[in-house]
Amino acid sequence: MIKLSVKSFKLADVKADVFAVFLFEGENPPKELDSKLGGYLSSLVKGKKFSGKKLSVRQVDTLGKLKAECVLLVGLGKKEDFSAEVLRAASAKAATSARSARGTAMALSIGALSSKKHTAEDLAQAAGEGIILSLYKFDQYKKKPEENGAELRSVVFACGDEKAETASGLDSAEKICRAVYLARDLGNHPGNTATPTFLASNAQRECRKVGVKCRVLEKREIEKLGMGSFLAVARGSAEPPKFIIMEYLNGRKNEKPIVLVGKGLTFDTGGISIKPSGNMEDMKFDMSGGGAVIGAMVAAASLKIKKNIVGLVPCTENMPGGRAIKPGDLARSMVGLTVEIINTDAEGRLILADALGYAKKYKPRAVVDLATLTGACMVALGTHASGLFGTDQKLVDAVRAAGENAGERCWQLPLWEEYDEQIKSSVADVKNVGDRYGGAITAAAFLKKFTDYPWAHIDIAGTAYGAKPGAPYLTAGSAGIGVRLLVGFLKSF
């Protein structure tokens, strides 16, 4: 991972391949740099050859007049619209542009952007996240990894009085992004590598590094707990199911924990209700919620968050086979509710039902689950926002605010009692799908049946993976969505 550092420099004395200068629309560049270049930078602004439009970039060779070989002018857009997310995206744009220019060392300064609304620490964290996340690569299966220009190895933040705050923000960014890299890696591995066993062993290894207690329940232990809903999905697979339990108890002794639950479906064929073959390879990403929870637990411990936090990840494949569940089969969940399985491709809610049931053991203060749960959520919200549901509005508001701050936006959808009618079964307590309308909502309504505590559900089906237009720090494949949102939520709730 790229190294970020902080040094006290006059701007004109910064030595680097690339110096990134962030400007609002119509703003003039720093006089210290502009004068050394004979007013050339300001002439670009006056001549509207660089407007400062959000995420616009203009590269200028310094011709030896500065210690930096070239200057990158990077637009922040309108000053009144500035936010940490704007800087996160602009910093990502600067990093990828520097790499394309074959730079190995970049410098930048963000001190002038800090204010009462945006502290130097928060802005440094945002900029650090944008840089690190934009440079992520997953090429370990390639004989000859692709080259994206030179490898950008270091970024120096040129600072004045805000050096300590900037260093603290960068430290947080590095710890959080290391966890996002973990979640991305887990998602990008192919299904024949990233089995439930692989996911569980990686969780144990990474938790051990940061002092999180992690244990993995095997099939026999899962059976003893009565997790019939989870085991129903696992029946068709030759891979044994795993139930990952992570505990980080760094709060007060009697403080009720916050429980995070992530869907760990390592590959989803749809089972007997098999999916179409087109793009089925993307179903290796169906464990993205579980990957996010593992990453968030690692990040929380790295940051030493003063909370009691528990992470639960039920892991299995959903495969067709002689022992696989069939449409019309019934399963009994851990909490005793029976489920009529109408569609075996609505499996995520079945494994989450027992995880949410297990969460009751902790008498939690709040529970948040993440899952690539429904295509219906993608239809409703596209790929720029995750669906958000819940039974406690304060909890839902806290999750949504954390998503806004992280640039991982959520949009609340209703969870009215009327939707329960669509999942009533004539032979069981509940059925696992309703009719074709409101599919994301009826999935959430199903999960609600297994909770009796403050609960929020995030459907990340549209945001978890893919090469999406939008934020330049989102790379192709697994996006690691949810890690930064959860960390922000855990810190603030």
What's the pLDDT score for residue 150? Answer: 66
Whole-model pTM: value is 0.97
pLDDT top residue among 204 and 112: 204
Give the model confidence (pLDDT) of 409-449 as tens digits: 999 999 999 999 999 999 999 999 999 999 999 999 999 99
Residue 145 has pLDDT above 80, yes or no: no
Catalytic residues: 275, 349
Give the model confidence (pLDDT) of 353-368 as tens digits: 999 999 999 999 999 9
Residue 143 has pLDDT above 90, yes or no: no
pLDDT top residue among 101 and 130: 130
- Mean pLDDT along residues 289-314: 98
- Order of strands across the sheet with 70-75? 3-8, 154-159, 105-108, 18-23, 70-75, 57-61
Residue 12 pLDDT level (bands cut at 50, 70, 90): confident
Per-residue burial over 261-295, b = 16 or more CB atoms within 10 Å of its CB, e = otherwise: bbbbbbbbbbbbbeeeeeeeeebbbbbbbbbbbbb
What's the pLDDT score for residue 245? Answer: 99
What's the pLDDT score for residue 9? Answer: 79
Residue 152 has pLDDT above 70, yes or no: yes
Q: Take residue 238 and report the two structure tokens written for it.
A: 């030759």
What's the pLDDT score for residue 161? Answer: 82
| Residue % of the chain over a pLDDT of 70 | 98
Give the model confidence (pLDDT) of 82-113 as tens digits: 999 999 999 999 999 999 999 999 999 998 99
Residue 159 has pLDDT above 90, yes or no: no
Residue 470 has pLDDT above 90, yes or no: no
Q: How far apart are CA 371 and CA 454, in angstroms?
A: 18
- Mean pLDDT along residues 57-85: 96
- Mean pLDDT along residues 398-404: 98
- Mean pLDDT along residues 130-154: 86
Domains delineated in the chain: 3-135 (3.40.220.10), 176-492 (3.40.630.10)
One-character DSSP codes across 120-156: HHHHHHHHHHHHHHHT----TT-SSPPP-SS---EEE
Residue 149 has pLDDT above 80, yes or no: no
pLDDT top residue among 9 and 39: 39
| Residue % of the chain over a pLDDT of 90 | 92
Per-residue burial over 153-192, b = 16 or more CB atoms within 10 Å of its CB, e = otherwise: eebbbbbeebbebbbbbbbbbbbbbbbbbbbbbbbbbebe
